[in-house]
Structure formats: C-alpha cells, structure tokens
Amino acid sequence: MTTVDDLWYLGDVARQSAEQTYHSVADRHEDFLECTRHRSVSRPRFRTVADRIRDNGLPYGAHAITYRESGELLLVRHDDVDMWVLPGGEVDGDESFRAAARRELMEEAGVDAAFEGLALLARVEFRCGDYDTWGVLPIYQARAETTALTVDDPDGEITDARWFDELPDDARDRDQLVRWRAETLEQ
C-alpha cells in the first residue's frame, strides 16, 4: 500500500495564506522593518506550524515591542524556549492581530500600552527535509502606559517579565530589537 504524504500540499496551502496575510498587513502600515528567520523543524512540528499558518498566515501569533519613555524594552521569560522574548501569542477567533498582541501583553506582563503601528514584519521560513513553507510574524510598536509588571499567563509558558535597557544575550532576535530601538527610539 502506498502512503500519500500531504505535507507538500499543506505547505503550499500555508504559503498561499502567508502571502495573503503578508500583503494585507504590509499594505495597512508604513515605516516598519522587515527580516527573515529560518527554522529547520521535525515533521510533526512542520505539520503544526503549517496548520497554524493555513488558518491565518501566522505561525506564532502577533507580538509587541513595548517600550517605556526611557527607552527600556519589555521582554518576558518563555521557559519552553529558555529565552527572553517579546510578549505575544496566538490570535483567538476573529480577534485582530493588534488585539491579540494587546491581550497577550496584558496576560504575559500586565502592561497596558498605546499601540503606535507596526514595528517589524518578519517572514519565518520553515524547512523539513524536502518540504518548506513560511508564515508571517507581525510585531507591533507599543508605548507603555503602565509599567508595573504582573505575569498572569494562562498557558503557563511565561514565568517572568522585565524592562531592559541592555538586552540580555539570550534575548530572541536580539539584533533586530537593537536595530529597531536604534532606528526608532534613538533618532
């Protein structure tokens, strides 16, 4: 019996969804940075991210670069990846990407912020053997209106939240965050 492998089809459908999402987000915003991330993943992980991307174009949801007037950036500790990351997560139902980023910011750090537009639009490329696809990671710019930190993550992945002037070495996408801060806040 021949087993049909549907990963190529799933990857193709996910690519089409990502393309639509990318253009939809990019066309609504100006003056944002772009970058590309590359990930080699296992077959089960490829299927998971391709399923997510197929649904709305996003493998990891929406995130926010949140800053205080002093220029400090907010990062949260994601224990599953053992890194400091930007607050953010998956979109619920018909929630907008910006609304998801706002909700996740509140859950993961207890911070309310004024969202000022799109800071970064990342293309995340996934490869598993001969299969490939990509998804979109919208990262919004948010100025903190409250700065006290409280972690109340319903998923239990986030265990700490801190403001950083000097970003830690184990901050995910540290180079892009340093570049964004230099081009946006330090002008």
Q: Does residue 2 lie in a domain region?
A: no
23 in a domain, yes or no? yes
Mean pLDDT for 41-65 is 96
| pLDDT at position 1 | 42
Is 51 a domain residue? Answer: yes
pLDDT digits (tens, 9 = 90+) for 18-30: 999 999 999 999 9
CA distance 139 to 84: 15
Across residues 92-96, what is the average pLDDT? 92
Note the pLDDT of residue 4: 55
105-121 pLDDT per residue, tens = 999 999 999 999 999 99
- Please check whether residue 1 lies inside any domain of the structure: no
Q: Is residue 142 part of a domain?
A: yes
How many structural domains are present in the chain? 1
> Does residue 119 lie within any of the structural domains?
yes
Domain that holds residue 62: 7-184
Res 186: pLDDT = 74
Q: What is the CATH number of the domain that holds 124?
A: 3.90.79.10
pLDDT digits (tens, 9 = 90+) for 99-156: 999 999 999 999 999 999 999 999 999 999 999 999 999 999 999 999 999 998 888 8
Q: Are 137 and 50 in contact (CB under 8 A)?
A: no
How many residues are given for the chain? 187
**pLDDT tens string 159-174:** 999 999 999 999 998 9
82 has pLDDT over 80: yes
Q: What share of the chain is helix, strand, coil (3-state, %, to 5)?
A: 30, 35, 35
Residues in contact with 132: Cβ distance below 8 Å, sequence separation at least 6, in sequence order = 11, 125, 126
Average pLDDT over the chain, rounded to whole? 93
Pairwise CA distance, residues 58 & 14, whole Å:
9
More confident residue, 3 or 129: 129
DSSP line for 116-151: EEEEEEEEEEEEETTEEEEEEEEEEEEEES------
In a domain, 178, yes or no: yes
